[in-house]
Copies of this chain bind each other. A is one copy, B any other.
Amino acid sequence: MQRQPQKSKIGRSQPADAARENGFYGQDILSVDQFNRARLEYIFDVAHEMRVLVERFGSADLLQGKILANLFYEPSTRTSSSFMAAMLRLGGQVIPINNVQYSSVSKGESLPDTIRTLESYSDVIVIRHPEVGSAATAAYYAEKPVINAGDGVGEHPTQSLLDLFTVVEELGRVDGLKVAMVGDLKYGRTVHSLTKLLLDFDVELTFVSPEILRMPGEILEKMQRSGRSYVETESIQEVIESVDVLYVTRVQKERFTDLAEYDRVKDFYVVDEELMRRAKEEMIVMHPLPRVGEISYAVDDDPRAAYFRQMRNGMYIRMALLASVLGKA
C-alpha cells in the first residue's frame, strides 16, 4: 500500500494546481467550495473517460486491492449503491456499513473512533450522516481520504458535481446556457449547491418557485456579490420556451402551513407532455430523484428527459473522485 501524503489537519484540500498530480491525491471531498473551474474541468474529464471505459469494457482494474468503507448513518439506496458500483467497476472492493442504528457506532461510540477503526481496514471512506459538519469531522480525524455523501442540510458535493457534469455531457458546454431551477428552492440542498458551482460560469439563472419556497437570501446575495444576475418567478410557463436546462425538484406538501396555498400552486410545478411541447428541441430536463409526481411518467420517453442518464453520470463522477483521491486517475 502506498503511503498517503500528509493531509492538512483541517481536513480540507486546497484548490491547488490541478495539473500537478491533479491535486486530488490523498485529499478529502467535502464541499463544492473545493471546486474551482480548473478542478471541475479536471474531474469532468476523468468522469468522461470513466463513461467511455464503462461503455466499452464495463469495468477496469485501476483500484484493484483497494477497499472503500461505505458508511451510511442514514439510508440512501441511490447514493450508497452508486458509490458501491463506482468502486466495484474500478476493480476495488466495498465494506458496506448501512445499519448503523443497530451497530456499535450507535452504542455511544464517537464518530472519530468509528472513523479511525474503519480507516484501519480501508483505503478510502465515504460517509453520509444526518448532522452538518460530520463529514468534516470525519476527515479531520482520518488519515485516509474521506468523501462526503451528504451531511444533513449541509453539503452533498458529489450530487452537485454529477448535476453539472450532466449539463456538460448533454449540452457540451455550460457558458451561455439558460438554466431554470424549479420547485422547492428554499430547503433544496441540491439547488443551493448547484447554484454555488454555477457562479464560476456565465449562465443565465431563473429561480422558479412558490413565494414561500424562494431561494434563500444569502445565496441570492452571494450571486450579486459575484456579479451574477438572476430572475425569480412563480411560473414555469414563463421560462419553458427559452431554457436550456430545466432542473426540477419536489414541492413537498409538508412545507406549507396554508394548505389552500399548496393546492393553488402544486400544479404549476408539474412537468408534463403539454409543457414539454413548448420547450426547445435541444434542452434537457433534470431531477435529482426520487420524484413523486412532479414529472409525469409520459415525459420519460422524451429524449430531453435526462434524469436517468443523470443517475448514471453519478456513477462516473464517483468513479472519477475515487480514482483521483486514491492517486489512480
Contact = CB atoms under 8 A, between A and B. Distances in A.
A77 B105 contact: yes
B65 A59 contact: yes
A57 B1 contact: yes
A117 interface: yes
A270 interface: no
A107 interface: yes
8 A-B pairs with least C-beta separation: A59-B65, A85-B121, A120-B312, A77-B103, A1-B58, A109-B290, A75-B102, A58-B65
B120 A103 contact: no
Interface stretch (A91-99, A213-221, A232-240, A259-267): A91-99
A245 interface: no
B104 A77 contact: yes
A89 interface: yes
A323 interface: no
A114 B103 CA distance: 22
Interface in A84-128: 84-85, 88-89, 93, 95-100, 102-105, 107-109, 112-114, 116-118, 120-123
A106 B105 CA distance: 24
Interface residues of A, number: 58
B290 A108 contact: yes
Given A117-B308, A308-B116, A76 B104 contact: yes
B69 A113 contact: no
Interface in A193-239: none
A56 interface: yes
B99 A311 contact: no
Contact of A54 (B1, B59, B297, B311): B1
A99 B100 contact: no
